[in-house]
């Protein structure tokens, strides 16, 4: 496991050298830059875990550079600003642009070390605990069933190694939760946890020229490849090369970057069958499938349903300020006998809906039946409305885009054109949702 990598950007050579020596004595890897151009080049060569950035420099000021970096969603790293004569307005502007702390000159080395340690710890914690689209999962998988106990034991053993892991299971069964749990238990928990959807382009995974990608953003941490079977062919080829050589290049880049990232792959499909069908590279399959772990569907461990209900009630009450309600015994038994086609994700959504729409403290069987009937009716209506209009005589990428367009247009109507409501209905993070709507040519205002 590599030490944290810190980039020190300051136009004063003595300060750069002093800070470098002190941080290296503490075990950090350190690079330095004396101006904005050098800082860009250093960041392009390797993504830092932390940047110490001077505000006043001869060519471009640090706030301008911070603004430039903050607009790059693909790879943000924590930045601590340094200034000999900062103002309140400058500090406020830097904080607004994403700086996490502010140190004044002359530097107190004790203060510097405390700030660096805290910044790295906070960044690692936020990355590990941050939730991507469809979040709300616990860090530690919830349940006391034999299956869950054995899975947790297996993940704890895997956390002590650097082996690549392939989690398989039905949609909503908890693959992402187990991947986060593995990262949180490993030595890499001090590094970033980056989640990447397999359907995205190779350029977003590997970066482009001066722009780092997700693989680089996860340096010294963990990259979770969600629905890895959907990786486009170019990304598959590049990933095989990276895993074999333990280095990679950005697309249209000329310099090799060391691969210091642990990769965990997730799939809802039988990936071996996808390989046999010729839709996924066999060599990549063997690189990723070093340790296969299957997550069972919820219907196979129904004894965990009471624990899950209790967890999500408390979680949603605390995180979303929803009114507290409790499931009576009959309601819990009804849910234990439900087949849960959407698995744990469906259970979470059901709890959220019941907390939002219910009025009484107790959740009863009749309310459960009404909620499940409504969910089934919506699913049937969606299928009846959308699928006949979706042509299957086209490439997979085009068919997926058309389905996403139909799905989001339908959900926008339900949300009355509100992107905030759309995010809640779809379980997508709003920034990603806006990008998806633009990519599909959907204007939310037209659905208002």
pLDDT tens per residue, range 296-315 = 999 999 999 999 999 999 98
Q: Which CATH number fits domain 299-385: 1.10.8.60, 3.30.930.10, 3.40.50.720, 3.40.50.740?
A: 1.10.8.60
CATH of domain 5-129: 3.40.50.2300
For helices 329-336 and 305-320, the axis angle rounded to 10 degrees is: 110
pLDDT score recorded for residue 91: 61
**CA gyration radius, the chain:** 24
Looking at the chain, the domain(s) classified CATH 1.10.8.60 span 299-385
Average pLDDT over residues 106-130: 68
- Give the rounded distance of the alpha carbon of 146 from its chain centre: 29
The candidate with the shortest Cα–Cα distance to 235, out of 272, 263, 193, 277, is 263
Backbone angles phi, psi at 162, to 5 degrees: -110, 15
Whole-angstrom distance, CA of residue 52 vs CA of residue 28: 13
Kind and range of the H or E run holding 16: helix 13-25
Assigned superfamily of 146-296 = P-loop containing nucleotide triphosphate hydrolases (3.40.50.300)
Whole-angstrom distance, CA of residue 237 vs CA of residue 296: 30
436 close to 428: Cβ distance less than 8 angstroms: yes
Cβ-based burial of 306 (10 A; exposed 0-12, middle 13-18, buried ≥19): middle
Whole-angstrom distance, CA of residue 140 vs CA of residue 243: 29
Is 437's pLDDT higher than 60?
A: yes
pLDDT score recorded for residue 76: 65
Backbone angles phi, psi at 395, to 5 degrees: -60, 155
The candidate with the shortest Cα–Cα distance to 304, out of 331, 332, 327, 329, is 332
Whole-angstrom distance, CA of residue 133 vs CA of residue 155: 23
pLDDT band at 129 (very low <50, low <70, confident <90, very high): very low
pLDDT digits 0-9 by tens, 216-273: 889 999 999 999 998 888 999 999 999 999 999 998 888 898 999 999 999 999 999 9
pLDDT digits 0-9 by tens, 169-186: 999 999 999 999 999 999
422 close to 412: Cβ distance less than 8 angstroms: yes
pLDDT band at 124 (very low <50, low <70, confident <90, very high): low
CA–CA distance from 202 to each of 74, 199, 231, 250, 444 (Å)?
Answer: 12, 9, 8, 10, 28
- Give the rounded distance of the alpha carbon of 270 from its chain centre: 23
- Give the rounded distance of the alpha carbon of 93 from its chain centre: 27
49 close to 29: Cβ distance less than 8 angstroms: no
pLDDT band at 67 (very low <50, low <70, confident <90, very high): confident
pLDDT band at 209 (very low <50, low <70, confident <90, very high): confident
Whole-angstrom distance, CA of residue 436 vs CA of residue 405: 9
Q: Which CATH number fits domain 390-447: 1.10.10.60, 3.30.565.10, 3.40.47.10, 2.40.30.30?
A: 1.10.10.60
Whole-angstrom distance, CA of residue 412 vs CA of residue 426: 10
Cα dihedral 230, 234, 235, 241, rounded to 10, equals 130
pLDDT score recorded for residue 346: 92
Residue carrying the six token digits 């486009």: 232
pLDDT score recorded for residue 87: 55
pLDDT band at 114 (very low <50, low <70, confident <90, very high): confident
pLDDT digits 0-9 by tens, 376-411: 555 554 444 444 455 555 566 667 777 888 888 888
The pTM of this model reads 0.61
pLDDT score recorded for residue 311: 93
pLDDT score recorded for residue 419: 74
Q: Residue 115 corresponds to which tokens in the numbers above?
A: 């700030």
Whole-angstrom distance, CA of residue 359 vs CA of residue 250: 54
């Amino acid at each position: 496991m590599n030490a944290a990598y810190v980039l020190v950007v300051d136009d004063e050579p003595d300060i750069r050298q002093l800070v470098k020596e002190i941080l290296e004595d503490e075990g950090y890897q350190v690079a330095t830059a004396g101006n904005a151009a050098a800082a860009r080049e250093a960041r392009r060569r390797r993504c830092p875990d932390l940047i110490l950035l001077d505000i006043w420099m001869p060519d471009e000021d640090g706030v301008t550079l911070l603004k430039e970096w903050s607009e790059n969603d693909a790879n943000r790293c924590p930045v601590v600003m340094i200034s000999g004569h900062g103002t309140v307005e400058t500090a406020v502007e830097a904080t607004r642009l994403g700086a996490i702390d502010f140190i004044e000159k002359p530097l107190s080395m004790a203060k510097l070390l405390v700030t660096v340690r805290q910044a790295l710890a906070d960044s690692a914690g936020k990355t590990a605990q941050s939730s991507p689209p469809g979040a709300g999962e616990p860090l530690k998988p919830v349940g006391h069933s034999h299956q869950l106990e054995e899975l947790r034991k297996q993940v704890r053993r895997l956390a002590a190694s650097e082996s690549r892991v392939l989690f398989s299971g039905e949609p909503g069964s908890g693959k992402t939760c187990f991947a986060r749990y593995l990262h949180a238990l490993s030595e890499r928990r001090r590094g970033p946890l980056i989640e990447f959807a397999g359907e995205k382009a190779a350029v977003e995974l590997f970066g482009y020229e001066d722009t780092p990608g997700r693989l680089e953003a996860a340096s010294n941490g963990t990259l979770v490849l969600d629905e890895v079977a959907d990786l486009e062919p170019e990304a598959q080829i590049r990933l095989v090369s990276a895993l074999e050589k333990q280095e990679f290049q950005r697309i249209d880049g000329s310099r090799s970057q060391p691969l210091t990232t642990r990769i965990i792959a997730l799939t809802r499909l039988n990936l071996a069958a996808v390989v046999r069908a010729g839709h996924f590279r066999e060599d990549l399959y063997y690189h990723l499938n070093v340790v296969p772990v299957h997550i069972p569907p919820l219907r196979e461990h129904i004894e965990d349903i009471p624990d899950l209900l209790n967890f999500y009630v408390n979680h949603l009450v605390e995180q979303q300020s929803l009114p507290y309600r409790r499931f009576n015994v009959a309601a819990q038994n009804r849910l234990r006998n439900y087949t849960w086609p959407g698995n744990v994700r469906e259970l979470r959504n059901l709890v959220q809906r019941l907390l939002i729409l219910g009025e009484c403290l107790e959740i009863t069987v009749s309310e459960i039946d009404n909620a499940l009937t409504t969910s089934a009716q919506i699913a049937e209506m969606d299928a009846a409305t959308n699928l006949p209009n979706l042509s299957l005589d086209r490439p997979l990428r085009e068919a997926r885009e058309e389905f996403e367009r139909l799905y989001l247009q339908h959900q926008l109507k339900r949300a009355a054109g509100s992107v905030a409501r759309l995010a809640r209905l779809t379980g997508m993070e709003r920034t990603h949702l806006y990008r998806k709507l633009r990519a599909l040519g959907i204007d939310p205002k037209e659905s208002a």
